[in-house]
Structure 1
């Protein structure tokens, strides 16, 4: 094996390890740039038509240069390289000759605004991948004092390209999944109801913030060595059986699609646990293959909070007195106990209640409770909610 071949294998290995290890990715790019003797490298996307350019990765690249390429020079009329995104064969190196030659390039705006100011002499590029809306492109450049890219350079470039394209595609897909996972976690953490995803044996795969708080209290439900456990062995058996039945749904076991149980907590009200399946047969609905398991939705009356007066005032436009009345009614109080709590007459409560009904759009207390809990109940961090047009609460310095 030649030294060049060993070098390319080393680069390929580092790039593929770099899919999950940023340090290895940087080392792979460094080695590739060293082998090709190019100090400048950019990887990014070009939209259909070539008028939208964004670079996700750069090596020894001046931020001002990137801003130019993404801004004033993101136009095929000024930047001949953009035409490669739709026309050039995939993973085949392109030279200046492929964009009209050096004379044509020197007559374009990119030469005056980019090549000369940033001391570039020659560039090469390749299209790594095409998607319906955009193409991934890689561009590398040499300084004006360096020799131009020769056929041997382009041959080495071509040998590295398939490894670079494959690693970049996987790296980008993982980044998109991590972004989506972060978004979903953010959303689920804003729900007061506990949400736990488990394996078929009760191993916890995911728990939102409300579920973490519930498990930490250990009243009625906790997790030992990552496996769910109820307060008593027989309740644990019932919980694990519930999870097992849900996990088996859709794969021939004939289990119900949704099932539930109540777990005693030692307080007045038990935990209500509803299980839904997460089985391979439901991969179509999920949009991806699913490992067998269950999703548990846990109602915890002790851990949840009723909608605050401020939240009711903001959402429905209630006055402070109306919001206080509505909050007590939603919490289960009758007219008499609301009047006693607010130190007003029952007729005053009825007057406020009539106005509240009109603003919320209901005609009786039971409908009020259902509407309020459906609209604004179950959301975490109600103190961060502000009316439209008002400034959001400022976080303390250092958060």
Structure 2
């Protein structure tokens, strides 16, 4: 190929860098277009069944024409031909339909003609069931189809484009799992705080931030409480965890009503350290949990009903019984007869695969550790 190694290496760097930084695809496509004397290029993922474009990266093509494609012309003479083509094969658009036939299509009138495009080099980069990721390099009628040298370059780039797209899917999936993990932390009713090796706050979830807003904790730089004595005890637990000891627990009265919160300090193991580092929490060393039992007693009934398929009446009984109330106390609390409570409890035990109230309390506590939306607790 009569292309300088410097230009080729630049294109390869852009292709592989784009796997991690999708914004670089526009630069990569533009660089390929320059090498092949093309008007521009585009890389996209779409489903014909869903009639949806999942992503598209545009290298120098007209955005208004791209919108017309997405809104009205996903099915066109070129895309119909490419549905049966294998991944990695470069296809000339003239193989799919001749120029005279192309000009008769609305696709040509609305998408191609306004850009002066008549020819295209097309390649499927990934395919699974109805989803296809594809790469197009578009040429004007004046320049005609890609010449043999330009085709050889696109064919040579084919495996690199395929690998980069596949790698990008894996990276996106990994990042999605990381984001999902942090989304779960945000939904916990328990406070979660990550400290770095200098004992500065690296991360605090929504529950921890709520405790700070209530004046229970202070999260500026280091962690402290509203009480000097409790702050000293917390500092001892944190230092212990920092030096690899198991850490420990302490209780802290809520400054509003005196209810006891539990704070657990623990060191972060190497495996968890790597996960946190990958997710952007650097130099993590100590993990704090702040547990408010009252927060787990105000569980939305819908959350319990969804978890085990309980009726609203059964969920009310399950929530009341799991708080340690006797059958008589539960009956008085819900204004029902003890026999009705027993009937509901038998159904609750059957649906939750528990046999006694202590086991049921453990399940309810586990459900209560996660908040689903902002629903208020049922009454």
Cross-structure match for 2:183: 186
Cross-structure match for 1:56: 55
Cross-structure match for 1:350: 338
- In 2, distance between residues paired with 1:123 and 1:39? 10
1:44–1:56 contact (8 Å) kept in structure 2: yes
Cross-structure match for 2:87: 85
2:14–2:24 contact (8 Å) kept in structure 1: yes
SS in 1 for 2:85: helix
1:164-188 Cα deviation digits (max 9, x unpaired) = 7787566555433333233233333
Cross-structure match for 2:234: 235
Q: Cα–Cα, structure 1 residues 302 and 372, in superposed 2: closer, same or farther, change >3 Å?
A: closer
Q: Cα–Cα, structure 1 residues 181 and 211, in superposed 2: closer, same or farther, change >3 Å?
A: same
Alignment TM-score, normalising by the size of structure 2:
0.64
Q: Cα–Cα, structure 1 residues 198 and 22, in superposed 2: closer, same or farther, change >3 Å?
A: same
Cross-structure match for 2:365: 373
2:304–2:310 contact (8 Å) kept in structure 1: yes
1:198–1:293 contact (8 Å) kept in structure 2: yes
RMSD: 5.2
Cross-structure match for 1:223: 219
Q: Cα–Cα, structure 1 residues 114 and 162, in superposed 2: closer, same or farther, change >3 Å?
A: farther
Is 1:300 the equivalent of 2:300? Answer: no
1:115-166 Cα deviation digits (max 9, x unpaired) = 75545532224576899x9986422122334433235545775798798778
Task: State the 1:354 CA deviation.
Answer: 0.6
1:93-122 Cα deviation digits (max 9, x unpaired) = x463xx9xx467549x98976975545532
Task: State the 1:269 CA deviation.
Answer: 1.7
User: What 5-or-longer segments of structure 2 have no aligned partner?
Assistant: none
Q: Cα–Cα, structure 1 residues 103 and 232, in superposed 2: closer, same or farther, change >3 Å?
A: closer
Is 1:331 the equivalent of 2:340? Answer: no
Q: Give the number of aligned pairs.
A: 347
136, 140, 145: which one pairs with 1:143?
140
1:368-392 Cα deviation digits (max 9, x unpaired) = 4334334x42231476499xxxxxx
Which region of structure 1 is more displaced relative to structure 2, 3-12 or 363-372?
3-12
Bigger share in helix: 2
Higher relative contact order, structure no. (Cα contacts within 8 Å, ≥ 6 residues apart): 2
Task: State the 1:234 CA deviation.
Answer: 3.8
Q: Cα–Cα, structure 1 residues 363 and 317, in superposed 2: closer, same or farther, change >3 Å?
A: same
